[in-house]
């Protein structure tokens, strides 16, 4: 059968820009520290839009770009760790707003690897013949789950959404090969808690600590240095694996779009794969780490820049909480 490919992309970033200097107004940090340790200069923070609002805006743009109508979409997958509700899914809210009346819709959690997990899932549905056209969206309002007193984590993240429409490939980027991986033994390296167990059978402990625990808000916690090492290793392993599987060499690759977490992670990965840093697309200086949205936003920006030529090959590679990782090899036609 023909390849599965990307026939449209879109992205949306909230308007409000938060600079490193803005952060240093209320945190013991500095523009110099954040820039040199991460490469991030500023990020977008949503002041009034929810995750589904951002997802909708990115989805509309991807749909317009694909030339399809909302009724043509058979499935909507939304990757997010910051949904508006536990129920309904972000994907169902987007379905309603798009008027995608013929679509099934669900959310998927793979943290910062979410866009890649979503795209590989879509690829399988299209390959199997179950669906023809799938809208995959990565959308996050991470700003609502950041600990704004923890300078080692809150400076890293931002809000945004990226989207792709996938279909049996005509023009656009066709998927040559892909890979997904998880390592649950490292689940505690990067966490964002949900609500604790509470029902009539749970022992009520009236201690102050227990009450604080009951009121606990979800917040991102991270073991930064461990995540750093995991990230460098998995980017390297994924790139090597996917090149091997496709029987290609690194010279055959035009661009690599890594999850936009930290410039130093990407520089280390570039050294360890022995692939020049200028092949790695980066926009994290402007948006920080937008988790599930980052790869979709970066792909949309690369395509809009008009830099891609026919037969260019791109690797998308991500890593994130879970821990999860994954990669996709695309060829442009």
Binding site for ligand ACO (CB under 6 A): 29, 33-34, 37-38, 111-112, 151-152, 155-156, 190, 222, 224-225, 227-228, 259, 261-262, 289, 291, 320-321
Query: Which entry of 90, 92, 112, 273 is annotated as an active-site residue?
Result: 112
Of 8 and 138, which has the nearer Cβ to ligand ACO? 138
Is 112 assigned a catalytic role? Answer: yes
Q: What does the alpha-carbon distance between residue 94 and residue 60 come to, in Å, rounded to a whole number? A: 10
Q: How many CA atoms lie within 13 A of 209 on its CB side?
A: 0
What φ, ψ does residue 237 adopt, rounded to 5°?
Answer: -60, -45
The rounded Cα 198 to chain-centroid distance in angstroms is: 31
Q: How far is the CB of 229 from ligand ACO (least distance, A)?
A: 9
Of 34 and 93, which has the nearer Cβ to ligand ACO? 34
What length is written for the chain? Answer: 333
Token digits of residue 46: 């949503």
Instruction: Write down the H helix ranges in the chain.
Output: 20-24, 31-38, 51-66, 90-98, 114-128, 151-154, 208-214, 224-245, 263-273, 284-287, 294-304
Q: What does the alpha-carbon distance between residue 294 and residue 120 come to, in Å, rounded to a whole number? A: 16
Q: How far is the CB of 29 from ligand ACO (least distance, A)?
A: 3
205 CB burial (10 A radius; 0-12, 13-18, 19+): exposed
Q: Do 333 and 174 touch, CB atoms closer than 8 A?
A: yes
Token digits of residue 5: 């490919």
Q: How far is the CB of 316 from ligand ACO (least distance, A)?
A: 14
Of 227 and 297, which has the nearer Cβ to ligand ACO? 227
Q: What are the beta bridge partners of residue 319? A: 325
Would you call the peptide bond into 75 cis, given omega within 30 degrees of 0 as the criterion?
no
Q: How far is the CB of 140 from ligand ACO (least distance, A)?
A: 10
For 86, which DSSP code? S
Is 90 assigned a catalytic role? Answer: no
Q: How far is the CB of 62 from ligand ACO (least distance, A)?
A: 22
Of 34 and 330, which has the nearer Cβ to ligand ACO? 34
Would you call the peptide bond into 323 cis, given omega within 30 degrees of 0 as the criterion?
yes
Which residue lies nearest ligand ACO, judged by its C-beta? 224
Q: How far is the CB of 331 from ligand ACO (least distance, A)?
A: 27
Of 14 and 318, which has the nearer Cβ to ligand ACO? 318
Of 125 and 230, which has the nearer Cβ to ligand ACO? 230
Q: What does the alpha-carbon distance between residue 288 and residue 44 come to, in Å, rounded to a whole number? A: 8
Of 89 and 289, which has the nearer Cβ to ligand ACO? 289
Query: Which entry of 3, 20, 90, 259 is annotated as an active-site residue?
Result: 259
Q: What does the alpha-carbon distance between residue 320 and residue 114 come to, in Å, rounded to a whole number? A: 8
Q: What does the alpha-carbon distance between residue 302 and residue 300 come to, in Å, rounded to a whole number? A: 6
Could you give the residue numbers annotated as active site? 112, 259, 289
């Amino acid at each position: 059968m023909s390849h599965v490919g990307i026939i449209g992309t879109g992205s949306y970033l909230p308007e409000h820009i938060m600079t490193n200097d803005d952060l240093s107004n209320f945190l013991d940090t500095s523009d110099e520290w954040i820039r040199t340790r991460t490469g991030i200069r500023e990020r977008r923070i949503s002041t009034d839009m929810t995750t589904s609002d951002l997802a909708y805006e990115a989805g509309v743009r991807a749909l317009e770009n694909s030339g399809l109508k909302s009724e043509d979409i058979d499935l909507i997958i939304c990757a997010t760790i910051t949904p508006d509700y536990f129920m309904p899914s972000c994907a169902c809210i987007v379905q309603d707003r798009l008027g995608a009346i013929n679509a099934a819709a669900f959310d998927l959690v793979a943290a910062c690897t979410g866009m890649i997990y979503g795209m590989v899932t879509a690829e399988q549905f299209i390959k199997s013949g179950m669906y023809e056209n799938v809208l995959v969206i990565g959308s996050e309002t991470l700003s609502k789950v950041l600990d704004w007193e923890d300078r080692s984590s809150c400076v890293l993240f931002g809000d945004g959404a990226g989207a792709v429409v996938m279909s049996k490939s005509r023009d656009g980027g066709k998927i040559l090969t892909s890979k997904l991986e998880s390592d649950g033994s490292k689940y505690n390296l990067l966490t964002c808690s949900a609500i604790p167990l509470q029902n009539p059978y749970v022992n009520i402990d009236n201690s102050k600590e227990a009450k604080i625990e009951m009121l606990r808000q979800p917040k991102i916690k991270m073991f930064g240095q461990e995540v750093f090492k995991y990230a460098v290793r998995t980017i390297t392993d994924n790139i090597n694996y996917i090149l091997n599987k496709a029987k290609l060499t690194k010279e055959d690759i035009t661009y690599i779009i890594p999850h936009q977490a930290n410039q130093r992670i990407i520089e280390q990965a570039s050294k360890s794969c022995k692939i020049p840093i200028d092949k790695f697309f980066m926009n994290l200086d402007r948006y920080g780490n937008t988790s599930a949205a980052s790869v979709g936003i970066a792909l949309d920006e690369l395509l809009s820049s008009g830099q891609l030529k026919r037969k260019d090959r791109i690797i998308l590679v991500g890593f994130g909480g879970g821990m999860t990782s994954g990669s996709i090899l695309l060829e442009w036609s």
